[in-house]
A and B are shown apart, each in its own frame.
Chain A
């Protein structure tokens, strides 16, 4: 079993942000797996999505259930093989898993950032990741890889640092959010912001956590991660039984008690999430999603936006993903084709909706494995 060692690096130099603001004296939490080879050519950067972190693979010493969020994909002998590649996971700025975020002290004021943490974008995250690689002495990545929001960072890498990326693996992602995606984000944000415990984002000093808002935000998120079919198959209209393992047939005729299994599931997910996630982080990360739109600087023309990319691409989408549907991935494919970039694109027929990118699907796993074997052959030759 791969044992993960969390690390942290603090940067004194100011990082200018897309908004015009900047951040200084910040820390990035990260983990690495495998060995960097002599010419530093086998590095793979993994970018995380909304609620994940730098803990991508392996477990922590003495905590057998602490698997990284992409442990099925990354590790010794896995599709992204840490016996061959040096894999790096970085926690993004504004997150709540170790890198500098809204719960930390702003060195300029001596007070906790709270709502004053600067708005960060996908581009800002990529810049911060690049600085970490600079310190590690890694000039060029063998690959940058991510799913969902992580896929957006991978795509952005190919545009911001085209000379530093040889391959990009973009899974279940999109070239920007559509109105429906933004709408879901906004409902989640309103749930948090209108929680009386939010205190305008400065809840830390009140010693409270806006858990109600976080729970609802997570419940909404979960609905968008699953497909209609999977939700019906898993829960259907089944009623929740007070005694585990037994089936309840009769309605309670209650408007507020948990009646259906799906309600129980969503509440459980919401409760769990509100215990560990930060409310300001949720706002920041959903905003970063909203703002990502590389075509915006090119009059909405994605083909022109992606002209900067130089690397080879593997894009993967999942048939039942309605959050970032295959159609959205095909927009990226088309823009890359227009620019005559080398790419492969697979549309995996999987029932699990957006969540599929984190799950074991033999076709998906084999595909990524084969693609990375190709990258490895390039390294050797």
Chain B
């Protein structure tokens, strides 16, 4: 989900000048974009050495940390926005990190692949796990250890007492508000505590 349009659409959800924490920030492209175009500041969190290096090369602040160990480094409500873009599906403690996201940020934005997108449904109906552009891995070698749907994400947020500010789909970089659980490959949730 690294294409330019998606990145810009996600960036447009972040208020101007916001202090941002980007959980699983990858090579820091989103943070660099937010700094350059929206006057944002903040830090990325990454576990992978090559991504930490890429962030430093870009001049993006990065903190090497295993998110599954929680966000103890960060105080309550110390960021305007905490981003979790394509991160949740890699976490063992996905629920804890979702709660931590809401604790640390005044607003959380989570995006992750929607398993209920119709091509995936068709594939499972045909008896096979989906392999798509959005979910390009075979079931046996996928790094996505959490497989869920847009609807599942909403239920999880509600179960943790989070206030859903907005909920929509993203497909090919564009917003999908009509039947996002069926028609969008990515689920996006904006929430607060």
B39 interface residue (CB < 8 Å to A): no
With A330-B73, A344-B63, A347-B64: A374-B56 Cβ-Cβ less than 8 Å = yes
Tell whether, in the assembled complex, residue B52 and residue A346 are in contact, meaning their CB atoms are under 8 Å apart.
yes
The A interface, classified by DSSP as helix, strand, loop or mixed, is: helix
Interface set, chain B 68-94, CB cutoff 8 A to A: 72-75, 78
**Chain B interface (Cβ within 8 Å of chain A)?**
19, 43, 49, 52-53, 55-57, 59, 61-65, 72-75, 78
Q: Which residue on B lies nearest to A337, using beta carbons?
A: B73
Tell whether, in the assembled complex, residue A363 and residue B49 are in contact, meaning their CB atoms are under 8 Å apart.
yes
A333 vs B61: C-alpha distance when bound (angstroms): 12
Count of A-B contacts with CB under 8 A? 53
Q: Which residue on A lies nearest to B46, using beta carbons?
A: A346
The B interface, classified by DSSP as helix, strand, loop or mixed, is: mixed
Tell whether, in the assembled complex, residue B53 and residue A337 are in contact, meaning their CB atoms are under 8 Å apart.
no
**Given A346-B56, A367-B56; 16 other pairs, CB 8 A cutoff:** A314-B56, A330-B73, A337-B43, A337-B73, A337-B74, A337-B75, A337-B78, A343-B63, A344-B52, A344-B62, A345-B63, A345-B65, A347-B64, A363-B49, A363-B53, A370-B53
A348 vs B53: C-alpha distance when bound (angstroms): 11
- Shortest C-beta distance, A333 to chain B (Å), equals 6
Tell whether, in the assembled complex, residue A374 and residue B59 are in contact, meaning their CB atoms are under 8 Å apart.
yes
Interface set, chain A 350-371, CB cutoff 8 A to B: 363, 366-367, 370-371
> Most chain-A Cβ atoms within 10 A of its Cβ — which of B52, B72, B78?
B52
- Shortest C-beta distance, B66 to chain A (Å), equals 9
Size category of the A interface is 20 to 34
A160 vs B127: C-alpha distance when bound (angstroms): 67
A230 vs B184: C-alpha distance when bound (angstroms): 51
Contacts of B56 in A (CB 8 A): 314, 344, 346, 367, 370-371, 374
Tell whether, in the assembled complex, residue B53 and residue A367 are in contact, meaning their CB atoms are under 8 Å apart.
yes
Question: Beta-carbon contacts of A315-358 to B below 8 Å, as 1s and 0s?
Answer: 00000000000000010011001101011111111000000000
The 3 nearest A-B residue pairs measured at CB: A370-B56, A370-B57, A345-B63
- Shortest C-beta distance, B135 to chain A (Å), equals 29
A113 vs B65: C-alpha distance when bound (angstroms): 48
Q: Which residue on A lies nearest to B44, using beta carbons?
A: A344
Contacts of A371 in B (CB 8 A): 56
Contacts of B78 in A (CB 8 A): 337-338
With A344-B63, A345-B63: A366-B53 Cβ-Cβ less than 8 Å = yes
A377 vs B61: C-alpha distance when bound (angstroms): 16
Contacts of A330 in B (CB 8 A): 73
Contacts of A370 in B (CB 8 A): 53, 56-57
